[in-house]
């Protein structure tokens, strides 16, 4: 008793002096993680705002580049194809032919122009000529329908010219996107580098360029959208081009969901016109304000594929928050698992220390008894034959008890290392039970043990290690006697049953003891665990018996369970898979009856 108290005092001292680094680190992490969560939330919000500004800036730059490239394409064509007075008077000129060929050979998309018309006066009447690609000359042509609608306006311009007024640069073809018109140049530029312009007498006339709108809609606009908006910011944009007039007729849509309302667009640009400069063409603009610097026919509307930049940034924010908080959650779980593992490790260490103290005391008692008895025999203190026999029986019983404790520890170590089970063979359940009873009785003291057996007939064999299974049943029998009632009664029942889809053998070991408290049931199969009642009554044991039973049964593909009621005893049920119906048990009685390894 003194030795046991000393061991427990030593254990408490070791526990009190254990390092506090890990608990302090765990506490620090638990405080740090919420702080990191708040900072992460704020940082993601700032990152989302910066990302939105960046995406807004990029889409606006893309829209401006789209506008400039389209206007440059149209502007180069229109400026290169304007007719001067000399060409208008003669119907052709080398200068205009060279200018036309230069534009065709250098323009990225010369297909945007379908026809070039020259409207001037002949003998006081309005005349229409069309550029012939074969002859490189303007030849008389019939008025096409698209231009016939504007003939009255051109007649009015001719009348104004006859009255001494210059053509009105603000004349418009309202609502007509396919026509670009401008008065004839007052100067004819020589195509030869370094030449000087010739001054000619102004004549009445207009250069009218007819654009190929189907080509622009189906080829040029999709190409520009793909170049400037596809995968912008690692995402795509829906783009629409609508007419600038109040009706907002749709010119082009990259997607059926592309926005048609400027209020829904993330970026807008007006294009298809020319900035102010030395010359502005006649364009489709209802305004007659001469101070107007730009003429724009179409509107570009770009919208993020998510519906808006706000929706895209909100989705990105949610993803970033989900990823960030998932990482923090994993860290929190890791900290919790670390704390639980630390607590379990400390608990296991305490149990192991208790085991060391208990097993030391358990080993010390039989060793002291054997040494004392052997010493008395050796010095001749015991001379009576009856007393010698009694001393021999005592030494034999204590040696069995000592061997049983040593073998149990060795078996636990062997099972934990994976080397605790031997060869397996078909075994008869009744032989396992009988051998376990025969091995357990000598270890349970001199008092008689009342064993009640109920073993069914013709039980099928089980496949397993004979010594290990005998040890498992023997441990349950020993526990039933140790922790059962004062009548030292043990009930053993074996039966053949069906568990789900397999045949099993159930071995039940029961007692008349006080039962197991509910709080202790989750721990009774843990190694080194001993119930409070066993510790209080100083029942001999080391907390390995039931742990070994579970490990042995599990290694054989079976299960072990417990049923208990306060004041009515406990029953431990071992369930083992039955062998195939044609399997015959092997005669291993000698192996089963070998010295116990539990």
Q: Residue 219: is it exposed, middle or buried by C-beta count within 10 angstroms (0-12/13-18/19+)?
A: middle
Pairing of strands 450-455, 489-499: parallel
Count of H helices and E strands in the chain?
15, 18
Length of the chain: 598
The per-residue pLDDT for 50 is: 83
Residue whose token pair is 């066993």 = 534
Contact 92, 136 (CB under 8 A): yes
Nearest-angstrom CA–CA distance, 138 and 547: 108
Element (H, E) at 340: helix 309-378
* Angle separating helix axes 545-555 and 466-483, nearest 10 degrees: 150
Calculate ∠ Cα 137-140-141, nearest 5°: 115
Q: How far is CA 248 from CA 68, 244, 252, 299, in A?
A: 21, 6, 11, 9
For residue 123, tell me if it sits in a domain: yes
Cross-sheet strand order for the sheet of 113-122:
137-140, 125-132, 113-122, 205-211, 179-183
Report pTM. Answer: 0.53
The per-residue pLDDT for 422 is: 62
Give the distance from CA 597 to its chain's centroid. 50
Q: Which of 86, 186, 150, 161 is nearest to 282 (CA)?
A: 150
Question: How big, in percent rounded to 5, are the helix, strand and coil portions of the chain?
Answer: 50, 20, 30
Nearest-angstrom CA–CA distance, 454 and 456: 6
The per-residue pLDDT for 201 is: 64
Q: How far is CA 175 from CA 63, 71, 241, 255, 256, in A?
A: 24, 18, 15, 25, 24
For residue 537, tell me if it sits in a domain: yes
For residue 478, tell me if it sits in a domain: yes
Q: What is the 3-state secondary structure (H, E, C) of 366-384?
A: HHHHHHHHHHHHHCCCCCC
Contacts of 512 (CB under 8 A, 6+ apart): 484, 485, 487, 489, 569
Give the structural domain span for 162: 81-191+198-211
What is the CB neighbour count within 10 angstroms for residue 361? 19
For residue 526, tell me if it sits in a domain: yes
Contact 141, 129 (CB under 8 A): yes
Q: 415 pairs with which residues across the strands? A: none
What is the CB neighbour count within 10 angstroms for residue 438? 13
Per-residue pLDDT tens digits for 531-570: 666 665 555 555 677 888 888 888 888 889 998 888 778 8
Residue whose token pair is 């083992």 = 576
Nearest-angstrom CA–CA distance, 559 and 54: 64
Q: How far is CA 163 from CA 158, 159, 167, 185, 204, in A?
A: 9, 6, 11, 19, 12
Contact 121, 158 (CB under 8 A): yes
Nearest-angstrom CA–CA distance, 502 and 505: 10
Pairing of strands 267-271, 205-211: unpaired
For residue 391, tell me if it sits in a domain: no
Contact 94, 100 (CB under 8 A): no
Supply the CATH number for residue 526's domain: 3.30.565.10
Nearest-angstrom CA–CA distance, 583 and 562: 30
Tokens representing residue 568 in the block: 């009515």
CA atoms within 13 A on the CB side of 130: 13
Nearest-angstrom CA–CA distance, 406 and 419: 17
For residue 152, tell me if it sits in a domain: yes
Calculate ∠ Cα 102-108-111, nearest 5°: 85
The per-residue pLDDT for 341 is: 81
**What is the number of structural domains in the chain?**
2
For residue 331, tell me if it sits in a domain: no
The per-residue pLDDT for 207 is: 92
Contacts of 73 (CB under 8 A, 6+ apart): 107, 108, 109, 112, 220
Parts of the chain with a pLDDT under 70: 1-23, 26, 166-175, 186-202, 232-235, 247, 274-295, 351-352, 354-365, 381-383, 401, 404-405, 407-422, 443-447, 528, 530-543, 585, 587-598
The per-residue pLDDT for 299 is: 92
The per-residue pLDDT for 219 is: 95
Nearest-angstrom CA–CA distance, 174 and 243: 12
Q: Which long-range contacts (CB under 8 A, 24 or more apart) does 330-339 make?
A: 331/29, 331/33, 332/33, 335/26, 335/29, 335/30, 335/33, 338/22, 338/26, 339/26
For residue 549, tell me if it sits in a domain: yes
């Amino acid at each position: 008793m003194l030795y046991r108290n000393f061991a427990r005092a030593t254990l408490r001292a070791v526990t009190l002096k254990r390092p506090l680094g890990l608990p302090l680190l765990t506490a620090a992490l638990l405080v740090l993680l919420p702080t990191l969560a708040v900072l992460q939330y704020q940082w993601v919000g700032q990152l989302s705002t910066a990302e939105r500004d960046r995406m807004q800036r990029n889409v606006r730059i893309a829209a401006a580049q789209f506008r400039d490239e389209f206007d440059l394409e149209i502007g180069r064509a229109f400026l290169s194809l304007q007719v001067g007075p000399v060409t208008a008077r003669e119907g052709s000129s080398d200068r205009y032919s060279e200018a036309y060929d230069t534009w065709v050979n250098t323009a990225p998309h010369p297909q945007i122009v379908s026809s070039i018309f020259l409207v001037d006066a002949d003998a006081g009447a309005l005349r229409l000529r069309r550029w012939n690609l074969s002859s490189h000359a303007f030849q008389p042509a019939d008025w096409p329908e698209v231009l016939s609608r504007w003939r009255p306006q051109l007649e009015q311009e001719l009348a104004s010219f006859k009255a001494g007024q210059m053509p009105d640069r603000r004349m418009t073809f309202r609502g007509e996107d396919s026509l670009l018109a401008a008065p004839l140049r007052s100067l004819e530029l020589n195509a030869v580098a370094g030449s000087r312009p010739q001054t000619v007498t102004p004549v009445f006339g207009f250069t009218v360029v007819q654009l190929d709108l189907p080509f622009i809609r189906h080829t040029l606009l999709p190409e520009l959208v793909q170049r400037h908006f596809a995968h912008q910011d690692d995402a795509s944009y829906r783009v629409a081009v609508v007419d600038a007039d109040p009706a907002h007729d749709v010119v082009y849509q990259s997607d059926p969901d592309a926005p048609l309302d400027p209020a829904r667009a993330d970026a807008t640009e007006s294009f298809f016109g020319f900035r102010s400069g030395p010359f502005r063409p006649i364009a489709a603009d209802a305004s007659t304000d001469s101070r107007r610097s730009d003429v724009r026919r179409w509107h570009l509307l770009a919208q993020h594929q998510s519906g808006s930049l706000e929706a895209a940034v909100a989705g990105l924010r949610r993803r970033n928050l989900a990823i960030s908080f998932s990482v923090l959650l994993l860290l929190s779980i890791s900290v919790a698992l670390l704390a639980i593992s630390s607590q379990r490790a400390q608990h296991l260490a305490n149990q192991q220390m208790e085991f060391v103290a208990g097993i030391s005391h358990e080993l010390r008692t039989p060793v002291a008894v054997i040494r004392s008895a052997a010493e008395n025999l050796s010095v001749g203190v015991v001379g009576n034959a009856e007393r010698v026999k009694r001393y021999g029986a005592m030494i034999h019983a204590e040696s069995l008890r000592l061997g049983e404790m040593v073998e149990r520890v060795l078996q636990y170590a062997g099972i934990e290392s994976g080397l605790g089970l031997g060869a397996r063979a078909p075994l008869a359940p009744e032989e396992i039970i009988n051998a376990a009873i025969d091995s357990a009785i000598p270890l349970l003291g001199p008092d008689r043990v009342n064993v009640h057996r109920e073993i069914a007939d013709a039980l099928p064999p089980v496949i397993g290690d004979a010594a290990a299974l005998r040890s498992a049943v023997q441990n349950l029998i020993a526990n039933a006697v140790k922790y059962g009632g004062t009548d030292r009664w043990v009930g053993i029942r074996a039966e053949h049953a069906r568990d789900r889809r397999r045949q099993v053998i159930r071995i039940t070991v029961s007692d008349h003891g006080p039962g197991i408290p509910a709080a202790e049931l989750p721990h009774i199969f843990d190694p080194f665990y001993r119930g409070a009642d066993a510790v209080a009554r100083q029942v001999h044991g080391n907390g390995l018996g039931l742990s070994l039973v579970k490990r042995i049964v599990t290694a054989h593909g079976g299960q072990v369970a417990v049923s208990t009621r306060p004041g009515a005893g406990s029953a431990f049920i071992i369930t083992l898979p039955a062998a195939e119906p044609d399997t015959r048990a092997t005669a291993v009685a000698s192996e089963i009856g070998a010295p116990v390894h539990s």
